[in-house]
Structure 1
Amino acid sequence: MTALTVQPQNTILDLTDSKLRLKDILKTLPRESFQRNRRKAWTMVLVNVLMVGLGYWAIQASPWFLLPFAWVFTGTALTGFFVIAHDCGHRSFAKRKWVNDLVGHIFMAPLIYPFHGWRLLHNTHHTHTNKMDVDNAWQPFRPEDYDEFGIVRRVGYRHMRGRLWWLASILHWGVVHFDLSQYEPKDRPKVKVSIAVVAVFAAIVFPTLIATTGVWGFVKFWLLPWLIYHFWMSTFTLVHHTLPNIHFSEPEDWDEAQAQLFGTVHCEYPFGVEFLCHHINVHIPHHLSTAIPSYNLRLAHRSLQKTWGSSLQEHRFSWKLMKQITDQCHLYHPESAYQSFKDYQGKR
């Protein structure tokens, strides 16, 4: 089943062409990239459920000194749950809307993430990628805005952009996705349904877990894997659009094709992470078209590599990369790019 039909072209497009359009880029991709495959989609679900199940078995079977490994494995596999729901949110998992909504709610419920709340705000990010004051995913603040922050917000921002980046996803989850004022009135009934789903899940699972395994059981089986999941969420989303040479534009200067193709980072993680998280970090084709299912992202990216070559932002995950981002990518001005807190000369 085809979400979007395009014909591949062998023409090399001019990177400097100010009239470069998103649809021109999409025409370079193989049409197979856009095809949903029911077998691949449900195999992804089955494998992910088995991996999460294996992780929970490892948690209950492991001696104390192996528990950290079990938590990392399980939390990473739970991140795969989010990626499945991510496909559902973009309607690239199944043809029927109700199937996408049902599967999305099921797989986000253990993460206590309201499906529709996330889906609606996430679509804003895709529509306005790297557009200053509009993009809502890890957009850096301007120095003049940072100057106006109160002390609490300033300290929080410094830490979330620094060595505590891995907690930022939790802050975003708690502050944004349960706040109905973030959504248009017409969308609020859907968001309320999603909040109710996670509330019911928590009301049933959390007391049952504590009653049967104690408070430590709750921490051991849910909280710590959940924290690992948020580590990956924070890391993935930060790296997707944050490097010293990634450009953010004023709304009046923003160019959709340039932002989606060159403002998005492809980052290779270790094989196990890519496998458990369904290659969501093959991120450039996903920004060109959310109709591409996660299992087709590598096919689309290989095509982009042939067409755009070294012009693409391609990196390999490392702590050196994270240090570069968290040391340099703090405050931003479209004319002078990133400024670190160390070099910041405004209010302290």
Structure 2
Amino acid sequence: MTASSPTKQQDTNHFDPSAPPPFKVADIRAAIPDHCWIKNPYRSLSYVLRDILVILSLTFIAVVFKTSLWLWPVYWVAQGTMFWAVFVLGHDCGHGSFSDNPNLNSIMGHILHSSILVPFHGWRISHRTHHQNHGHVENDESWVPLSEKTYTALDAPTKLLRFKVPLPLFAYPLYLWKRSPGKSGSHFNPYSDMFAPNERRYIVTSTLCWTLMVANLIYLSTVIGPTLLFKLYIVPYLIFVMWLDFVTYLHHHGHEQKLPWYRGKEWSYLRGGLTTVDRDYGIFNNINHDIGTHVIHHLFPQIPHYRLVEATNAAKPVLGKYYREPKKSGPIPLHLIDNLVRSIKQDHYVSDAGDIVYYQTDYRMVGKKVE
């Protein structure tokens, strides 16, 4: 086994986050109350209704006051945030934490995700791969680290898109079409190597639903005009994409300390799950359905989102130092933007060798060594 050197802070705290934890997945599960596993479809549907009513209300206000210039920036941020909330509910459908009824999960998942141009089954399956391989250098799916060899082979435009803020915050649509650097496949192609042969019919269904949504938007543009459609839907969609990339990136990149990535026999489902990070989004926690409680969600994606906070609090005594408490700094978590910028600047690739590795920085790109 080889590993990169721990950070100075890890030495100071005398805690190595890559060390095998003194507990098992079963120990964490046993600490979580039984009722946290119960899925209430009516409660899940009530969140869908809440989000739809807010989205419709925002749209109505925007149409009525469309000549007010001050309105549009507020509308875009609010509506884009609600699109993100809808994504989180569709994400629950993909995990089966929305309800115990697979048909209800599939129907609601297609409605919710297609409405924001996400292919439900294509994303559901790749996201399942992400959860099953979290923290694994080669096999993870979401914001998977590049090896030094892969990073070195990237052309300048690709490096720019991936490592210069705010460009990485628009990565999601590109990821849906062609995945991350070093991987191949499309979430819309039933013959992509991401999917097993028996899953192809699911991909066809989701791609068809996605196509129908695009067709509906094109038709809508002929009714209300492309400019109004751009203001009502396209700009909020871009805000939603920024939310998605912002949140998913922060949940899988360092906290106050660098976190390990694994290969080979050093990887396990538990150790990989402990590389995820909880975040506090202030006033947005309730709006985005507590997606910030990410560690327990990654280990137990079957838990409904409305039980994640309680489940996390119950699991903290078991997790100990392996759980990094999210920093709280008021209703608007502006510190997270600094965390994002700092991480994108520093976390470029991992070593080609070693079963426990940490992100390294290409000093040629940033112009100076990052401490």
TM-score grouping bracket, smaller chain normalisation: 0.7 to 0.9
Of residues 213, 234, 253 in structure 2, which corresponds to 1:242? 253
1:156-184 CA-to-partner distances (Å, cap 9, x unmatched) read 3334xx44221112221233322331322
Partner of 1:178: 188
Any conservation in 1 of the 2:262–2:357 contact (CA below 8 Å)? no
Query: How far 1:27 sits from its partner (Å)?
Result: 1.2
Query: How far 1:18 sits from its partner (Å)?
Result: 5.6
Any conservation in 2 of the 1:59–1:220 contact (CA below 8 Å)? no
Of residues 102, 108, 111 in structure 2, which corresponds to 1:106? 111
Partner of 1:149: 154
Judged with a 3 Å threshold, the aligned counterparts in structure 2 of structure 1 residues 60 and 117 are, in CA distance, closer, same or farther, namely: same
Structure 2 residues not aligned, in runs of 5+? 1-17, 179-185, 328-332, 367-371
Judged with a 3 Å threshold, the aligned counterparts in structure 2 of structure 1 residues 46 and 336 are, in CA distance, closer, same or farther, namely: closer
Matches for 1:268-347 after TM superposition, within 5 Å: 268-271=280-283, 273-316=284-327, 317=333, 318=335, 319-333=337-351, 337-342=358-363
Any conservation in 1 of the 2:32–2:311 contact (CA below 8 Å)? yes
Cα distance in 1, alignment partners of residues 350 and 307 from structure 2: 34
Matches for 1:1-348 after TM superposition, within 5 Å: 20-62=23-65, 63-159=68-164, 162-175=165-178, 176-180=186-190, 181=192, 182-203=194-215, 205-243=216-254, 245-260=258-273, 262-271=274-283, 273-316=284-327, 317=333, 318=335, 319-333=337-351, 337-342=358-363
Any conservation in 1 of the 2:28–2:319 contact (CA below 8 Å)? no
Amino acid in the other structure paired with 2:69: W
Cα distance in 2, alignment partners of residues 208 and 163 from structure 1: 31
Query: How far 1:78 sits from its partner (Å)?
Result: 1.1
Cα distance in 1, alignment partners of residues 22 and 320 from structure 2: 20
Amino acid in the other structure paired with 1:340: T
Any conservation in 2 of the 1:30–1:300 contact (CA below 8 Å)? yes
Structure 1 residues not aligned, in runs of 5+? 1-14
User: TM-score, normalised to structure 1's length?
Assistant: 0.87
1:137-162 CA-to-partner distances (Å, cap 9, x unmatched) read 00110112212234443443334xx4
Residue-pair matches, total? 326
Cα distance in 2, alignment partners of residues 114 and 251 from structure 1: 32
Q: Give SS of 1:280's match.
A: coil
Q: Give SS of 1:183's match.
A: coil
1:295-345 CA-to-partner distances (Å, cap 9, x unmatched) read 111111111223334431233442221222122112123555222233679
Cα distance in 1, alignment partners of residues 50 and 313 from structure 2: 25
Judged with a 3 Å threshold, the aligned counterparts in structure 2 of structure 1 residues 59 and 314 are, in CA distance, closer, same or farther, namely: farther
Cα distance in 1, alignment partners of residues 154 and 342 from structure 2: 25
Cα distance in 1, alignment partners of residues 64 and 279 from structure 2: 34
Query: How far 1:130 sits from its partner (Å)?
Result: 0.8
Judged with a 3 Å threshold, the aligned counterparts in structure 2 of structure 1 residues 163 and 220 are, in CA distance, closer, same or farther, namely: closer
Cα distance in 2, alignment partners of residues 206 and 186 from structure 1: 31
User: TM-score, normalised to structure 2's length?
Assistant: 0.82
Stretch of structure 1 that moved more, 48-57 or 193-202: 48-57
User: Considering only aligned residues, what root-mean-square deviation do their CA atoms show, in Å?
Assistant: 2.1
